[in-house]
Chains A and B, each alone.
Chain A
Amino acid sequence: MDSSATDGARLPPPRAGSRLCVRCGERKAALKRPKTLEQICRECFYIIFEDEIHQTIVQNSLFKAGERVAIGASGGKDSTVLAYVLSELNRQHNYGLDLFLLSVDEGITGYRDDSLETVKRNEIQYGLPLKIVSYKDLYGWTMDDIVKAIGLKNNCTFCGVFRRQALDRGAALLKADKIVTGHNADDIAETVLLNILRGDIARLSRCTFITTGEDGPIPRCKPFKYTYEKEIVIYPVYEISYIFIFLLFLFIFSRIEGDHFIPISENARMSLESKYSSLGSVDDECCRPRAILDIIKSGENFRISTTTRMPEQGTCERCGYISSQKLCKACVLLDGLNRGLPKLGIGSTKAGARADSDGKQRTKRSERNTSSLQGKHGNFDF
Chain B
Amino acid sequence: MCAGCFRAHLFGKFKLSVTSNAMVRPTDAVLLAFSGGPASRVALQFIHEMQSKAIQSWEASNSQALPVFSLGVAFVDERSVISASLPGHEIQAAIEDIRSVVSGLSPGDKRVHIASLEEVFSSGSDDKAARLKEVVGVISDETGRDDFVRRLRMLSLQKVALENRYTKIMLGTCASGIACHVLSATVKGQGYALPADVQYVDTRWEVPVVLPLHDCLAQELNLLCEIDSLKTQQLLDRPCSGINGLVSSFVSRLREENSSREHTILRTAQKLKPFSFNKFSANGYHDFLPSRLRPKFQNIDANECTFSEILCLICGSPFSESELLNLENTKLKAQKKIDLYTAHCCQSCHFQILPAATDMYGHFFSLLPKFWTEKVDAASASHSSLRDQIADYLLDEDDGN
Q: Which of A293, A298, A306 has the most CB of B within 10 A?
A: A298
CB distance from B191 to the nearest CB of A (A): 3
**Known contacts A193-B186, A293-B189, A294-B189; A282 and B243 CB within 8 A of each other:** yes
Contact of B273 among A193, A278, A290, A306 (CB under 8 A): A306
Contact of B272 among A282, A285, A304 (CB under 8 A): A304
Chain A binding surface, main DSSP class? helix
Contact of A197 among B188, B261, B347, B357 (CB under 8 A): B261
Task: Tell me if B35 counts as interface (CB < 8 A to partner A).
Answer: no
- Provide the bound-state CA to CA distance between A293 and B357, in Å: 22
CB pair B191–A301 under 8 Å, yes or no, is: yes
Contact of B264 among A199, A298, A305 (CB under 8 A): A199
Report the nearest A residue to B359, measured CB to CB. Answer: A13
Task: Tell me if B242 counts as interface (CB < 8 A to partner A).
Answer: yes
**Known contacts A195-B268, A305-B271; A13 and B357 CB within 8 A of each other:** yes
CB pair B264–A198 under 8 Å, yes or no, is: yes
Task: Tell me if B227 counts as interface (CB < 8 A to partner A).
Answer: no
**Known contacts A197-B265, A286-B143; A294 and B348 CB within 8 A of each other:** yes
Task: Tell me if B79 counts as interface (CB < 8 A to partner A).
Answer: no
Task: Tell me if A196 counts as interface (CB < 8 A to partner B).
Answer: yes
**Known contacts A285-B246, A301-B320, A303-B192; A196 and B182 CB within 8 A of each other:** yes
CB distance from A169 to the nearest CB of B (A): 32
Task: Tell me if A288 counts as interface (CB < 8 A to partner B).
Answer: yes
- Provide the bound-state CA to CA distance between A197 and B266, in Å: 9
CB pair B143–A298 under 8 Å, yes or no, is: no
Residues of A within 8 A of B143 (CB): 286, 288
- Provide the bound-state CA to CA distance between A199 and B265, in Å: 6
Encode contact with B along A185-220: 1 for CB under 8 Å, 0 otherwise: 000000011011111110010000000000000000
CB distance from A22 to the nearest CB of B (A): 14
Contact of B356 among A11, A200, A301 (CB under 8 A): A11
CB distance from A10 to the nearest CB of B (A): 7
Residues of A within 8 A of B195 (CB): 303
Residues of B within 8 A of A201 (CB): 268, 271
**Known contacts A9-B347, A295-B187, A298-B194; A308 and B271 CB within 8 A of each other:** yes
- Provide the bound-state CA to CA distance between A4 and B220, in Å: 44
CB pair A294–B320 under 8 Å, yes or no, is: no
Residues of B within 8 A of A1 (CB): 322
Residues of B within 8 A of A294 (CB): 186-189, 348
Residues of B within 8 A of A297 (CB): 189, 191, 347
Report the nearest A residue to B257, measured CB to CB. Answer: A275
Report the nearest A residue to B260, measured CB to CB. Answer: A199
Q: Which of B183, B261, B274, B348 has the most CB of A within 10 A?
A: B183
- Provide the bound-state CA to CA distance between A204 and B185, in Å: 15
- Provide the bound-state CA to CA distance between A299 and B274, in Å: 16
CB pair B189–A298 under 8 Å, yes or no, is: yes
CB pair B243–A304 under 8 Å, yes or no, is: no
- Provide the bound-state CA to CA distance between A367 and B380, in Å: 50
CB distance from B250 to the nearest CB of A (A): 6
Residues of B within 8 A of A306 (CB): 273
CB distance from B270 to the nearest CB of A (A): 8
Residues of A within 8 A of B357 (CB): 13
- Provide the bound-state CA to CA distance between A11 and B356, in Å: 7
CB distance from A284 to the nearest CB of B (A): 10
- Provide the bound-state CA to CA distance between A294 and B190, in Å: 8
- Provide the bound-state CA to CA distance between A294 and B347, in Å: 10
Encode contact with B along A230-247: 1 for CB under 8 Å, 0 otherwise: 000000000000000000
Residues of A within 8 A of B6 (CB): none
CB pair B268–A9 under 8 Å, yes or no, is: no
Residues of B within 8 A of A193 (CB): 183, 186
Residues of chain B from 229 to 271 with CB closer than 8 A to chain A in the complex: 242-243, 246, 250, 254, 257, 261, 264-265, 267-269, 271
Task: Tell me if B350 counts as interface (CB < 8 A to partner A).
Answer: yes
**How many residues of B are counted as interface, with CB atoms below 8 angstroms from the partner's CB atoms?**
38
Encode contact with A along B179-208: 1 for CB under 8 Å, 0 otherwise: 000110111111110110000000000000
Residues of A within 8 A of B188 (CB): 291, 294, 298
- Provide the bound-state CA to CA distance between A285 and B249, in Å: 13
Task: Tell me if B285 counts as interface (CB < 8 A to partner A).
Answer: no
Task: Tell me if B351 counts as interface (CB < 8 A to partner A).
Answer: yes
Residues of A within 8 A of B183 (CB): 193, 196
Residues of A within 8 A of B246 (CB): 282, 285-286
Task: Tell me if A302 counts as interface (CB < 8 A to partner B).
Answer: yes
- Provide the bound-state CA to CA distance between A291 and B143, in Å: 12
Residues of A within 8 A of B186 (CB): 192-193, 196, 294-295, 298-299
Contact of A204 among B192, B257, B268, B347 (CB under 8 A): B268
CB distance from A25 to the nearest CB of B (A): 20
Task: Tell me if A300 counts as interface (CB < 8 A to partner B).
Answer: yes
- Provide the bound-state CA to CA distance between A199 and B348, in Å: 25
Contact of B243 among A9, A286, A299 (CB under 8 A): A286
Q: Which of A1, A275, A285, A306 has the most CB of B within 10 A?
A: A1
CB pair B189–A199 under 8 Å, yes or no, is: no
CB distance from B164 to the nearest CB of A (A): 36
**Known contacts A10-B356, A197-B261, A201-B271; A302 and B347 CB within 8 A of each other:** no
- Residue contacts A-B, CB under 8 angstroms, 24 given: A1-B322, A9-B347, A9-B350, A193-B186, A195-B268, A196-B265, A197-B261, A197-B264, A198-B264, A199-B268, A200-B268, A285-B246, A286-B142, A294-B188, A295-B189, A298-B188, A298-B191, A299-B191, A301-B192, A303-B192, A303-B272, A304-B271, A304-B272, A308-B271
Pairs A-B, 8 closest by C-beta atoms:
A298-B191, A294-B189, A301-B192, A301-B191, A199-B264, A303-B273, A308-B271, A297-B189
Instruction: Report B's interface with A, CB cutoff 8 A.
Output: 142-143, 182-183, 185-192, 194-195, 242-243, 246, 250, 254, 257, 261, 264-265, 267-269, 271-274, 320, 322, 347-348, 350-351, 356-357
Given A1-B322, A13-B357, A298-B194, 18 extra CB contacts under 8 A: A9-B350, A192-B186, A197-B264, A201-B271, A275-B257, A286-B242, A286-B246, A288-B143, A288-B242, A293-B189, A294-B189, A294-B348, A295-B186, A295-B189, A298-B185, A298-B190, A303-B273, A304-B272
